[in-house]
Structure 1
Amino acid sequence: MSAAELAAQVLLWAGVAAQLASCVGVWWMRDVFDRLHYTAASATVGPALIGTSVVVTGGAGSVSGTVEVVAAAAVLLLLSPVVTHAVGRAVRRMAHDREGGP
């Protein structure tokens, strides 16, 4: 096993472990904002590690495969904070309206 294959395996398993930890965090937490925190982590940490693993192994067998993996990871990393923030604001508004506030 070469150093690149070993690094790819370590990155892949670290990504899988991050996804599992995020799933357990979503399941374990009671507050919606805590769950949102773990959801945000699952949309950034795991895909970044798994995408890096794919790139280290040479992509999907071609340069275009590597570009696709990098593009998908970039979209997730750029848009996940925006979506997380929007969901958090919506939940806060819903909770605030339910309490009868202005």
Structure 2
Amino acid sequence: MSPAQLAAQVLLWAGVAAQLACCAGVWWMRDVFDRLHYTAGAATVGPALIGTSVVLTGGAGAVSGTVEVVAATAVLLLLGPVVTHALGRAARRALHGDIGEGDIGEKADP
């Protein structure tokens, strides 16, 4: 086994372990905001590790397959925090009926 294959195996198993830990966290937590922390990790950490593993092994086939893996991982890493933030705002609005004073776009009374 070459060093690249060993590194790919370690990254793959670390990604799988991260996904399982995030799933356990979502299952264990009772509050929507606590669960949101684990879903954010599941959308960023696991896919980054697994995508890096696929790129190291060349498991996607040709160069175009590797580009697709890198693009998919980049989209998850860039949009994961945006989706997490939007879900957090929606959950706060649903639970409390407001977003709070001083948020962008809202003017506080003097």
What TM-score, normalized by structure 2, do the two folds share? 0.87
Larger radius of gyration: 2
Counterparts of 2:17 and 2:62 in 1: how far apart (Å)?
Answer: 27
SS in 2 for 1:43: helix
Residue 84 of structure 1 and its aligned partner are, at CA, apart by 0.3
Q: Name structure 1 gaps, 5 residues minimum.
A: none
Residue 39 of structure 1 and its aligned partner are, at CA, apart by 0.3
Counterparts of 2:61 and 2:91 in 1: how far apart (Å)?
Answer: 43
Q: Name structure 2 gaps, 5 residues minimum.
A: 99-110
The structure with the greater share of residues assigned to helix is 1
Residue 59 of structure 1 and its aligned partner are, at CA, apart by 4.2
Per the alignment, residue 74 of structure 2 pairs with 74
Contact 1:43 1:76 in 2 (8 A): yes
Per the alignment, residue 12 of structure 2 pairs with 12
SS in 1 for 2:97: helix
Per the alignment, residue 91 of structure 1 pairs with 91
Report the residue type matching 1:49 in the other structure: L
Report the residue type matching 1:50 in the other structure: I
Residue 97 of structure 1 and its aligned partner are, at CA, apart by 2.0
What TM-score, normalized by structure 1, do the two folds share? 0.93
Q: How does 1:1-102 map to 2 (within 5 A)?
A: 1-97=1-97
Count of residues paired in the alignment: 98
Contact 1:12 1:49 in 2 (8 A): yes
